[in-house]
Structure 1
Amino acid sequence: MQTLASPTVKRYPQSNVHPLKIVVIGDSIVYGFGDFEGGGWVERLRRNWMMPDSPGHVIYNLGVRGDGVLQVSQRLEQEFRNRGELRNRVPDAIALSVGVNDAARLGRTSGRYFTDFGVFQQEISQLLDRAKQLCPVYFVGMVPVDESKMPFLDCFYYNHEDQYRYKEATRLACEARNIPYLDIFDLWIERGTDWCREQMCADGLHPNSSGYQALLKDVLNWQPITQLANSSLITA
């Protein structure tokens, strides 16, 4: 069993810390489908930040299975506005993670995309622009599927070539807007096919518990998240 190293988070007396409110919006990987042990990387991070010696940052998991960029865009602002907790307050940051469903081909390996690539480029740009108007934004990229297990649900065909095309469009859109982007796809591909397959459920699309643990470790080792986690407002 893998052991997760403690994140680099400053330790403060709880009376002096104003915890951050962070919303994570996306698809089934945000929701944590497939992780019967820890509930996914967002839930694992939420529990980690609830430890007695942590600043106590609050995380809202707003992942919905099957969502693509259009669905996330439609619910972005309402989800954000409804989770400020305190009167006249809104969340401090948004983490987005979406795109893998958009890259699926329907019905056959050469079928049309769930979201046409041109439409996806427009929609992801608009989503990022709208999110940036609300608060600081972070983007966690998609995991590579297990191509040998396709199709998913006998009708959705995923492959690495299409995934790479959609994730690159997202990465470049984030780069143009100075939005931190965590390239999970490239990180995992570099670790090898066998390693990647060991992190995936039998459906080939969702990480298993080991995969979500690895994903959480990648998130915690990401400098933008480390800086965010350490940015609690400290009172005198």
Structure 2
Amino acid sequence: MLEWNGVHMKAIMLFGDSDTYGSFDPEGLGWAGRLRSFIETHYEEEIAVYNLGIPGNTTIDILKRFEREFTARKAEKNIVIFAIGVNDARYVNGKPVSKIQEVKKTIQKIITLSRKHAQNIIFIGLTKIDEAKTRPTIWSAEEEFINKQIVLFNKEIKKICDKNKTPFIPVMDIIGKKDLYDDGVHPTNKGHEKLFQHIKKNLIALKIL
């Protein structure tokens, strides 16, 4: 169990993909890096914030590594925040990477497993992309992101969260095309700043912060 000067800490673990990791925002380190900086600056209580975002991760990737990552960082009070689903919604060679029914089952498993360990669980919704730049993506002629699929996954993940009375922070309308990097997928530093401000406001409202 984590301790700081003999006092048990609160741990906030952020599980996600490249947006959580902070890709293409080396200065601010994404919304997650901004959140960590805000917490370290404004809270006297010892809170450890862990960015566990891995570029390319899908929901099943998160499920597979969750318990191992959590156990290595658990504290007296644990909060887990998930920002996942966009990579599941992409297409490769015209076929979806993940079927919606599979994703729904995986999200439920993640919630059930998280409840065994954490006092608070929060999901962050999906962000839209710029289809003019993602059909195909600039990094692969075989890979596509389509907003219709992203909207569907966002809707279904929210339904599961509602069913489990798990907080869901919607972000789909927080950033637009002008807030995306040249690849049409990842937020710019301004996009990450908007996401951070919105997520921070909601975490305060939920009394997480």
Q: Same fold (TM over 0.5)?
A: yes
CA positional deviation for 1:37? 1.9
Q: 1:26 aligns with which of 11, 16, 20?
A: 16
| Aligned counterparts of 2:63 and 2:15: Cα–Cα separation in 1 | 10
Whether 1:208 aligns to 2:188 is yes
CA positional deviation for 1:156? 1.9
Secondary structure of the 1:61 match is strand
What runs of 5+ residues in structure 2 fail to find an aligned partner?
none
Q: How does 1:175-190 map to 2 (within 5 A)?
A: 175-185=162-172, 187-188=173-174
CA 112–53 in structure 1, closer or farther in 2 if over 3 Å, else same: closer
Secondary structure of the 2:80 match is strand
Secondary structure of the 2:129 match is coil
CA contact under 8 A between 1:180 and 1:224: conserved in structure 2? no
CA 106–90 in structure 1, closer or farther in 2 if over 3 Å, else same: farther
2:143 maps to 156
| Aligned counterparts of 1:74 and 1:91: Cα–Cα separation in 2 | 22
| Aligned counterparts of 1:182 and 1:125: Cα–Cα separation in 2 | 17
| Aligned counterparts of 1:101 and 1:199: Cα–Cα separation in 2 | 19
CA positional deviation for 1:184? 0.7
| Aligned counterparts of 1:61 and 1:53: Cα–Cα separation in 2 | 18
Secondary structure of the 2:207 match is helix
Q: 1:99 aligns with which of 85, 94, 104?
A: 85
2:201 maps to 221
Q: Which has the larger radius of gyration?
A: 1
CA contact under 8 A between 2:9 and 2:77: conserved in structure 1? no
2:159 maps to 172
CA positional deviation for 1:48? 1.2
CA positional deviation for 1:22? 0.7
Q: What TM-score, normalized to structure 2?
A: 0.89
| Aligned counterparts of 1:24 and 1:223: Cα–Cα separation in 2 | 13
CA positional deviation for 1:116? 1.5
Whether 1:133 aligns to 2:116 is yes
Whether 1:144 aligns to 2:128 is yes
Moved over 3 A (4+): 52-56, 223-226
CA positional deviation for 1:149? 0.8
Sequence identity (%): 23
2:52 maps to 62
| Aligned counterparts of 1:23 and 1:53: Cα–Cα separation in 2 | 17
Secondary structure of the 2:112 match is helix
CA 119–49 in structure 1, closer or farther in 2 if over 3 Å, else same: same
CA contact under 8 A between 1:30 and 1:63: conserved in structure 2? yes
Whether 1:118 aligns to 2:108 is no
Q: RMSD between aligned alpha carbons? A: 2.0
Amino acid at match of 2:181: C
1:234 maps to none
**Alignment length, in residue pairs?**
200
